[in-house]
Structure 1
Amino acid sequence: METYEGHGETSTLHTLAPHEVVAGTVLKSDMEYLYSGGLAGRGGRHIYDAIMGLAPNSRCPYCGHRRVRQLDHFLPKSKYPAFSVTPLNLVPSCSDCNKDKLAGDAARLEDLPLHPYFDNVDHQTWLTAELLEGPIAVFMFNVDHECGLPNMDLLRLQSQFDILNLGELFTTEANEELASIRLNLRRVLEDVGEEGVQELLEDAALSSEHHQRNSWKTAMYRAASQSDWFCEGGFDDAELI
């Protein structure tokens, strides 16, 4: 526990060596069973559920969007069995992020995803959206490398963003969000004009930012409110009634 915490606080978890034997005699299979049969089983389920409850609003800390469904071993138990039941190594996550995350294969710090318990980057707005003008509006998301975070944090964020396919996820969600508000935007544009649309979008961005600074929704509404083309009717789809 102290070894893990020390490496977590100094961002050196990637330097820990994979191992097959724990404490000289305990095998990897023993530790894996301790997790699956003990912590995740009936006997330790109350501990498992308590760790699951650490995720704010039950949202996955890796993608910040989907609901948590399981515990992720930040350092995989197949390579680091000593940490199979270490609470600091168990992170509530959605099933997609748990499957796609490749923390165990990170030999360099820049390839290691941000650890939700040790790495806090939400004091800066690092998620940005670009609004593509065309027949229909499309939002593209990425990490803002000019946001003021340390370069290593940005490299790790970008790696995590790419590995977990967050750009594709956020674009899909933004397209769905736009479809759900399009009718209301039409009415505001007709009744109040483009300034009314812009004000509506700015309010939505501020409200979303207050809830979650680096969410796709915050970035989407911010980009939309700053686009004259969008506010003048670019949000519409000529093929839809």
Structure 2
Amino acid sequence: MLHIDRPVKESAREAFQLCTSTKVSKRQKDLLSGFGEPIAQAADAFDSACQASVLHTLDRTQFAPNPPDEAGTDALIDLYDRRLRSKEYPGRPLYDRIRNAPGKCPLCGVGRIKQVDHHLPKAHYPFLAVAPDNLIPICADCNFLKHDRFPTTGGEQSLHPYYDDIEDHLWLRAKLLVSSAPESDAWRVMYYVDQHPSWSDDLAGRVRFHFEVFELGTLYETQCADELVTVGTAMDEVFLAGGEVDVQAELTSWMHIRSKPRQNNWMAALYRALAENPWYCNGGFRAVAAG
């Protein structure tokens, strides 16, 4: 859910030319010779659809050889598998610049970037197999969860880190849920999407879809387990000195610190939720820290 700058400057046409610049057999050259212009056109259509958030309206037949050509499609997919990702071909530096984008995985904000994936899967949109705008840095977990999914409705569009920027809006929230039921957990932290007032319903639906597809609620809840032990221990001393009011003020201060430079991260949301919970600030932190 992080916005990042496009890691490379090459166009889809340039990436295609780079991948086919050396070690191309006559058969491959014959198969690929007519695809330069369709690839450029497909990349332009993809760019326009991303800017308008209408990827679901794209006609997939325009992103593959037409009439259907299995050999040509396989050759296009092979451009990525062997000629961009493989270390033996000149496209590898472009792949590395995308994979080595700084920071955490832009789809979850937690995982370490280890791979490059297609926003629209190459199996269904082979003309976008090496289009840089369709290639995003990603962690292994998000890549697994993404599969070969592509949107068929407006609400099935996950966020694209090059095009979608919602970081100026506070939308990630957490809530500390406390239960007195004997056969349930005494407490748990629940993360959720809180629609920003400036968002359209379409954008809110896309954010929620992204949140669910990549299982961010579960991911963030898992991340905060150790943090709750640490903060609970620290708040004990604060509580003894100034009670509930001081604990709330301390947690609010930590929330502001964790909000820099990105306000929508799981730690900032956690501290905001804890500061807003009277039970927690009035000694509940001890029970939470104890598990």
The TM-score normalised by the length of structure 2 is 0.75
Question: Unmatched 5+ residue regions in structure 1?
Answer: none
Question: How far 1:37 sits from its partner (Å)?
Answer: 1.0
* CA deviation string 1:186-213 (max 9, x = no partner): 1222233222222221111101112221
* CA deviation string 1:158-191 (max 9, x = no partner): 1111111111111111222102322112122223
User: What CA distance in whole angstroms lies between the structure 2 residues aligned with 1:64 and 1:150?
Assistant: 23
Match of 2:98 in 1: 51
Question: How far 1:104 sits from its partner (Å)?
Answer: 3.4
Q: Is 1:187–2:223 an aligned residue pair?
A: no
Question: How far 1:46 sits from its partner (Å)?
Answer: 1.5
Match of 2:249 in 1: 199
User: What CA distance in whole angstroms lies between the structure 2 residues aligned with 1:209 and 1:6?
Assistant: 32
Question: How far 1:81 sits from its partner (Å)?
Answer: 0.8
Given that 1:139 and 1:171 are in contact with CA atoms closer than 8 Å, whether structure 2 keeps it comes out as: yes
Question: How far 1:21 sits from its partner (Å)?
Answer: 4.1
Aligned pair in 2 of structure 1 residues 70, 213: CA closer, same or farther (>3 Å)?
Answer: same
Q: Is 1:75–2:120 an aligned residue pair?
A: yes
Q: Is 1:177–2:222 an aligned residue pair?
A: no
Given that 2:175 and 2:189 are in contact with CA atoms closer than 8 Å, whether structure 1 keeps it comes out as: yes
User: What CA distance in whole angstroms lies between the structure 2 residues aligned with 1:175 and 1:125?
Assistant: 23
RMSD: 2.3
User: What CA distance in whole angstroms lies between the structure 1 residues aligned with 2:276 and 2:253?
Assistant: 12
Given that 2:172 and 2:264 are in contact with CA atoms closer than 8 Å, whether structure 1 keeps it comes out as: yes
User: What CA distance in whole angstroms lies between the structure 2 residues aligned with 1:203 and 1:195?
Assistant: 12
Letter in 2 for 1:106: P
Q: Is 1:225–2:275 an aligned residue pair?
A: yes
How many residue pairs align between the two structures?
239
User: What CA distance in whole angstroms lies between the structure 1 residues aligned with 2:205 and 2:283?
Assistant: 37
Alignment of 1:54-203 (within 5 A): 54=101, 56-57=102-103, 59-101=104-146, 104-134=149-179, 136-203=186-253
Aligned pair in 2 of structure 1 residues 106, 69: CA closer, same or farther (>3 Å)?
Answer: same
Aligned pair in 2 of structure 1 residues 7, 170: CA closer, same or farther (>3 Å)?
Answer: same
Identity %: 31
User: What CA distance in whole angstroms lies between the structure 2 residues aligned with 1:155 and 1:47?
Assistant: 33
* CA deviation string 1:100-138 (max 9, x = no partner): 126733201111101111111112111111111247542
User: What CA distance in whole angstroms lies between the structure 1 residues aligned with 2:97 and 2:288?
Assistant: 50
Question: How far 1:84 sits from its partner (Å)?
Answer: 0.6
Letter in 2 for 1:191: A
* CA deviation string 1:142-161 (max 9, x = no partner): 11135432211100111111
With 85-94 and 5-14 compared, the bigger mean Cα shift is at: 5-14
Letter in 1 for 2:195: H
Letter in 1 for 2:201: N
Letter in 2 for 1:166: L
